[in-house]
Chains A and B, each alone.
Chain A
Amino acid sequence: MSSPDEYESLRQAILDGDEEAAAAIGHEVAKAAENPLGAVEVASEVIREVGDKFGTGELFLPEMVLAAEAMQAFMAAVAARLEADAEGGASQKHHKVVIGTVQGDIHSIGKNIVATMLGASGYEIVDLGVNMGPMDAIEAAEKSGASFIGLSALMTTSMPYQKEVIDLLDELNQRDDFFVLVGGGPVTRGYADDINANGWAPDAAAAVRLVDRLASGETTPSDTTLVYVEGE
């Protein structure tokens, strides 16, 4: 699959949130002789476009969720082929992200949007839901082999639990094991910096770019100079 028409049908399947069509295209891509990375790149561009349009109010949450699910169906269909090609030198994302809304906070929408966008962008998501205890986040990251812990807070009174996770990692001498990312309505870049988080982003599309940057190896978790990506 490499012709403009074929790419357009993949693009349309994702934009339409057509999970079945996206999966079918994914299976074709997996069987084809060509390198599948071209199609994966097209799909990635589409989902970034969807995220950006959601951020500017041109697309709404139901459309974004369905597009992300179609993207995930496509990626699932090509996963085995990518694995096989990876042994031959091609690359793909393997990072896992443990994500949740912190303790004392039961707001889920923002966390779900970020999880959806990261999942659609190829990251494996371990979603611990809401009211997530600090140690639960750390233990889940350990068990799953995650590289990232994403902490959402929508209330000023739940933000101290973001710091609590970082403090626990310090005290457990595990600060170098995970990148800790923080976000949510009242969570400013300044606050993220103050608590020694590794990353901060103001919205879901920016969060994907943030994780991409950190996953590229430009820094380590123990370097707590805040990495941030502004919204577009």
Chain B
Amino acid sequence: MRLERILDVLDRAHNGPVYKEREFNLNVVASTIAAKVKKFGLTGTVDTENPIGSDDDLADRFYQAGFEAAVEIGLLCSDTNRVIRFSAEELQGLVDEAPSEFWLGEGDQKVHFRHRGLDDPTPPVWTVPLSIVVSEDIFVDMVHGLAAIEVVDCLEGPSLETVYGRPLRSGSPYEHLAGRYQADLMYEGIKRAGRVGMPMDAIGSSTTHYGLLGGYGVEGGYRPKHDLVTILSIGDFWTSYESLFKLTQVYVAGGEHISASSWVMLGGYPGGPEGTAVASVAYTLLMYAVFQGSRGGVPPFDISYMGNSGTRAQWALSVSNQAITRNTNTVYHSIANQVAGPGTEMLLHESLVGMVTMAVTGVTNVVGTRSAGGRLTDYLTPLEHQFAGEVFKAAAGLSREQGNDIIRKFIPMYQDQLTTKPDGRPFQELYNIDTMTPIPEWQAMYDKVKQQAIDAGLPL
């Protein structure tokens, strides 16, 4: 981490141009994105019949539009109401500083993160699960089950529902305690799975900086040299002291690697799919620049169902991925945002679609699965993570055309259920916890969808 870059960012967060919320959202974000869509001839380029396009020139125009938008928009710090903004030369230089490869973890569990290109057979990295809440009494079992999956490379979540039996409250001392407590539980689960040394993303249970202060770079906590710190900015070109505290804590603790992430809303201030793709590129570049990201990525969510498995969001995801991976040498990361829960075929179909798209569009690392959209406690199991990881790795090396042909077969199977969001069933009902095996019904769904994927041309 470079201190001078941190200080420069903090200076800009305190001396940059001042904006009120409405003015920034409408007159800066929405207007600039709309202007770039128009300037680069991107209006009407969305192709929902072919969510994974193969038009390199189109991807490059999205990159140029996103780069210009990043320079003109910047990131608004919600605590100071000032914008952190860079010139084009500065932004290019900062993005160029992002590493094209790095290692995390220890011993035989070390993981190599490296830039991937389009249609690239380089094995991608699968990090599980998202920070979905699980009950404290099954937390270690869940980590054990997830870490035992061969295709899993790293761990991020899950998140604790309680800490020492008390509700985990954001921004409170409970969250500070949870940082270190989660590390203890994660190490125990990893040990049981026989994968000591596995890298982790810090810190799933704490979205604010308090968990990081309590659990990263402290004795027995997350390891500054081997783990990654997730900085998830608050969306649509905003950032905050929370995220900046995480940046300074990584520096103070002697850490090296940050995941600079956020999301953009399809249907939000960036507008439709084209604007959302431009915003995804722009925000990603800014996150690398502001937070010295070793890994970065700002995937779209469709605001109408809070996921990205539908055709419009898949198209926006695909074209923004291609724009970044064709035009930078960064380690790019993304998230497939499913809405269906475990114990449903829909979750597996959504996962298949999302992971194929990621693999063929050059994404290095995906964190998932967002089982049940992350909205229900204990609604995740190891099996959907195994399936998604298998698909992700099998699809690496397929062409974009092949990927597009595959996902076109599966999206219609669930598109009309994206707003109804079947919850599925919780871990306790879908797994035998003593043997850590799925119940036959859930296993049969996995077998069926895996065969469907093979029949569709996925080399599983």
Contacts and interface: CB of A to CB of B under 8 A. Distances in A.
A62 interface: yes
A106 B242 contact: yes
Contacts, number: 88
B170 A54 contact: no
Contacts of A156: 133, 159, 161, 168, 377
A231 B419 contact: yes
A80 interface: no
B235 A57 contact: no
Given A57-B312, A157-B170, A62 B269 contact: yes
A61 B167 contact: no
Given A62-B26, A108-B21, A155 B170 contact: yes
B247 interface: no
Interface in A76-91: none
A107 B234 contact: yes
Interface in A32-75: 54-57, 60-62, 65-66
Contacts of B25: 65
Of A57, A108, A131, A161, the most chain B CB neighbours within 10 A belong to: A57
Contact of B375 (A61, A108, A158, A186): A186
A56 B303 contact: no
A55 B265 CA distance: 13
B321 interface: no
B267 A61 contact: yes
A19 interface: no
Interface in B190-212: 205-208
A232 to B, nearest CB: 10
B235 A107 contact: yes
Contact of A60 (B171, B235, B272): B272
Nearest to A103: B171
Contacts of B207: 155, 157
A106 B375 contact: no
B293 to A, nearest CB: 20
Given A106-B234, A155-B207, A188 B268 contact: no
Nearest to A131: B171
Interface in B76-118: 78
A105 B235 CA distance: 13
Contacts of A161: 169-170
A156 B159 CA distance: 9
A145 interface: no
B375 A188 contact: yes
State the main secondary structure of chain B at its contact with A: loop
Contacts of A157: 159, 168-170, 175, 205-208
A55 B242 CA distance: 30
B172 A104 contact: yes
Contact of B169 (A56, A104, A130, A188): A104
A107 B240 CA distance: 10
A61 B374 CA distance: 24
A106 B235 contact: no
A186 B170 contact: no
B30 interface: yes
Contacts of A65: 22, 25-26
A106 B26 CA distance: 19
A62 B267 contact: no
A185 B302 contact: no
B111 to A, nearest CB: 28
A168 interface: no
Nearest to B27: A62
A54 B22 CA distance: 18
Given A55-B304, A157-B207, A158-B170, A60 B267 contact: yes
Given A158-B170, A188-B375, A109 B265 contact: yes
Given A106-B234, A156-B159, A60 B271 contact: yes
A81 B281 CA distance: 49
A57 B267 contact: yes
Interface string A112-152: 10000000000000000011000000000000000000000
A54 B205 contact: no
B236 interface: yes
A103 B269 CA distance: 25
Contact of A57 (B167, B236, B302, B376): B302
29 contacts: A54-B267, A55-B304, A56-B304, A60-B268, A60-B272, A61-B30, A61-B265, A61-B268, A61-B271, A62-B30, A62-B269, A65-B22, A104-B170, A104-B171, A106-B240, A108-B21, A108-B234, A109-B265, A109-B268, A112-B21, A155-B207, A156-B159, A157-B159, A157-B168, A157-B205, A158-B170, A160-B168, A161-B169, A231-B419
Interface of A: 54-57, 60-62, 65-66, 103-109, 112, 130-131, 155-158, 160-161, 185-186, 188, 231
Given A103-B170, A155-B207, 9 more contacts: A55-B304, A57-B304, A61-B265, A66-B26, A104-B169, A105-B170, A105-B171, A158-B171, A185-B306
